[in-house]
Amino acid sequence: MAAEELSEAGMADIIRALEVIHSPTSTNALRKEALSFVEALKDNEAAARNGFLLASRADHAAVVRYFGLTLLDHVLRHLSFTSPEESTNLRSMILQLAENIRPEDPSFFRNKIPQLWSEAAKKSWGLDWADMDEALVKFWGVSLVHNELVLSVLETLSEDVFFREDTVSSLRGSELNRALVEIFTPAAIFEQINPDKSTTAVLRCGQEGWLVRICEFLDNCVQNVSTSREARDAAVKALTTLRSALSWSIFKAVIAGQVVASVFRALTCQDEQVLLAAVEALHSLYGRNNMGNDESHGLVCLIFESDYLNTLRNLYQWSIVGPEDADEPKYLISKKLSEMISYVAGCLEDERFLRDTMHRLDLPPFFNFMLNIMQHQSLTVSIPCLHLWSRLLGVQKIGTSEFVVNQTPTFLTVCTQRLIRWESLPTESEDPTIQFLAEDIDTIPERHAFLGNYRRYCSSIIETITQKRAQEAVREILGRVDENLDNLYSGAEPFQSTS
């Protein structure tokens, strides 16, 4: 920009004003005056340059440097730039700040720079900023803190473009969508889906794409999680970025990049935060509405392979906790795993999927895992798999399979036991199921609605089994009634007549 650099005296005035604002001893009048002064700086035509000068001086206090970033943020968000020179100057400032980022910088300062980068990208990437991906690749590998910055930029762009109600992104939605898909996807896969290169400019840098780069970085971090806190934090950041990207990435790219294998390697860690981030990444991928279509068959079939399924089963067993630990990451992992398994199981309702993949699927171990989850003491963990069983039992190939037929007593026992009106029981009960309910669902109307759905799924399973195998079902149900009557007074004082 054409504005002159901020003088030392002017910089000192800004620093003093910020000190007044943040000092607990300042009077309201002084603080108000200081606020008016710094707010006026945002409308100065040199706001961006001044912000850069404040933020780039490592000897400034963190609050001063952060204020400099807010000046840049204001310029990016509230002013429009038609001059390529203006846009280039702003990007140059952001890139310099990114280049000079240090591990000792406060996290709130480091986290702000990717937001500025993303804001600039949404306005000019693919227009007059064709080498943004090249800049990201340049910073990748410089240091751990630079890798985390790149991951934050990618995650922020992904969230803003695909999920948040972001005005700037919505104006360039299709362009930004395509650009993100291009830089995340391996070049060979992207050329398959976009064979005509003449219609759009090439925005990517390198052949591998960010899915592959992130997975390679994640693998390196996972190897050092147990000995390095920095590696643990970086692994979580990589998985968080994957979680966002896997909700829209091309299935062929996910398969080619062996992303699922990389995430599963993270599931072998002993760190709860890494494990939770890995489960959330899988949850994001397998929870997609189009999971189960032809291109995703390979991804779905992976979960039925013994190595992958055993990893999930072991993780689930490890994550089981009592109601007293319901606020622990382990319990959240149980819930996320149950939902993820239900997403995979939902693909089995598709006749075409079953026809094309049945010969590749080892169903009994998977069904057994679903059945175990359904029996969890927490109804919140149980309900995703319970719901899927209420639908899968109606699928001919599944409902008549040997495993399902042999498990008829288990289905009927669990579902009849859980048909009771849990909401009528005292909330102070020591029953773990009641305690989990109290932890998971706060309001009475929500609890009633949840339990109504739970009973409906239980009833559906009982009805389906009764219709298909009436004699066996009646025998099991009557046997259950006899058992309940035999134990009606268990634990009660024997009756004594009094004269």
Within-domain flag for 313: no
The per-residue pLDDT for range 101-154, each reduced to its tens digit, is 999 999 999 999 999 999 999 988 988 899 999 999 999 999 999 999 999 999
What pTM does this model have?
0.90
Q: Are the beta carbons of 452 and 383 closer than 8 angstroms? A: no
Within-domain flag for 396: no
Within-domain flag for 272: yes
Residue of higher predicted confidence among 37 and 220: 220
Q: Backbone dihedral region of 53: left (phi > 0), alpha (psi from -120 to 50 degrees) or beta? A: alpha
What is the CB-side half-sphere exposure of residue 61 using CA atoms within 13 A?
12
Domain hosting residue 211, numbered range:
125-281
Which two three-digit tokens encode residue 334?
A: 């149980």
The pLDDT of residue 499: 45
Measured between alpha carbons, how far is 204 from 398 in angstroms, rounded to an integer? 45
Measured between alpha carbons, how far is 243 from 284 in angstroms, rounded to an integer? 6
Measured between alpha carbons, how far is 450 from 381 in angstroms, rounded to an integer? 12
Within-domain flag for 166: yes
The pLDDT of residue 15: 86
- Shortest CA distance to 334 belongs to which of 292, 380, 365? 380
Within-domain flag for 250: yes
Segment 272-275 long-range contacts (CB within 8 Å, at least 24 positions apart): 272/328, 272/329, 272/330, 272/333, 273/232, 273/236, 273/329, 274/222, 274/225, 274/232, 274/235, 274/236, 274/239, 275/315, 275/329, 275/333
Domain count, the chain: 1
- pLDDT above 70 covers a percentage of the chain that reads 91
Residue of higher predicted confidence among 482 and 86: 86
Q: Are the beta carbons of 401 and 389 closer than 8 angstroms? A: no
The per-residue pLDDT for range 366-413, each reduced to its tens digit, is 999 999 999 999 999 999 999 999 999 999 999 999 999 999 999 999
| Single-letter amino acid code for the residue at 244 | S
Within-domain flag for 191: yes
